[in-house]
Amino acid sequence: MQLGFCLFKYFPFGGLQRDFLRIANECHARRHSIRVYCSQWEGVEPEHFEIIKVPQKGISSTARNRSFVKFITRHIRKYPIDYLIGFNKIPGLDCYYAADGCFLAKAKEQKSRYYQYSQRFKHFFAYENAIFAKGEKTHILMISKPQLAIYQHLYNTESERFHLLPPGVARDRVAPDDAPQQRQAFRTKYDIAEDEWLWLMVGSGFKTKGVDRSLRALSALPAHLRNKTKLFIVGQDNPRSFLNMARQLRIQSNVHFFQGRDDIPGFLLGADILVHPAYNENTGTVLLEALVSGLPVLVTDNCGYADYIQKADAGLLIPNPFNQKTMDQQVQRMMNRQLISRWQNNALTFAKDADLYSMPEAATDIIETLCKKQCGKT
């Protein structure tokens, strides 16, 4: 089959982008032809994809979105495909991969009622409505069960259009047999003593991931712990405001920012705690990556995959509504080597049996079935 994929921007370190690439590669492995519509592509372009660079027209994001949709519509009309899978919310999709949370829910919860009269709201609501409104035809690949319930409540979407996927942790995140040796090599490289603590944050979008919350928690540690604690933050974002915050809190020497990179497994093995106090998070794949590598997790309970940490008994959840003092207390509680060892063992045991890896295969199975049905091949 000729399958089309579309996303506004591809860069190697985004969760949505990595999910897209793994699904598209799985489809290609099953001998389907892959065409990708994308306005920006950073990194290596796979030779087995036909990548169509969509011109960016318009000053505002809403204007660029409309231009993106018009280009794809015209291109497909001239060069037809069998099925179109989107990773951003736009009209005209056969299938949408729901990497992002519900826009309408966020607007209702976080904005004033006057926001709903703005052109920006009307644009993004219309694009979301084109996918989820009752009577639409787009099928939806869901990766967050709580979000599924939210969409159904707000849009009355038909249940048969939702397809809930298992998680899709990359196998290179699984703790290898020589994990202790790799941990030691990592800590030696970054000059981290065995009696020091390393907190790790991973994810693009530092504001959404709660970097400010982690900085405050680090600052609140008793001096004897703070002096032996480092915070490594890895992600594709501008750290300037958070570096200023660290200086104001007088912890700048404890905090180190890294741009997005492809050696995350080493960071997961070298750290002591994954700290993920996100303001909102549809899923949080890094939580499961930490789980399979044996890294205990502190996470806000509004993250889609936080329940896996609870099921595995591999860390602590910060309850909503968020309270900074609660986080400060919980992370201090986690800084106990015996607890860390127990949570690490629990995580590795859970990861052996739980279905945490099959998302690309499951998504491709669904895409194939839906495409064949739409094309009248079944």
| Average pLDDT value for residue range 362-377 | 93
Equal CATH topology for 2-166+358-374 and 171-353:
yes
pLDDT of residue 171: 83
Q: In DSSP terms, which residues pair with 318 in a beta bridge?
A: 300
pTM exceeds 0.85: yes
| 68-115 per-position pLDDT tens digit | 999 999 999 999 999 999 999 999 999 999 999 999 999 998 899 899
Helix 211-219 to helix 324-334 angle (10° resolution) is: 70
Model confidence at 230: pLDDT above 80: yes
Q: What is the reported pLDDT for 378? A: 54
Question: Domain 2-166+358-374 in CATH: superfamily?
Answer: Glycogen Phosphorylase B; (3.40.50.2000)
> For the chain, what are the domain ranges?
2-166+358-374, 171-353
Homologous superfamily (CATH) for 171-353: Glycogen Phosphorylase B; (3.40.50.2000)
Cis link prior to 321 (omega < 30° from 0)?
Answer: yes
Considering the chain, what is the average pLDDT of its residues? 95
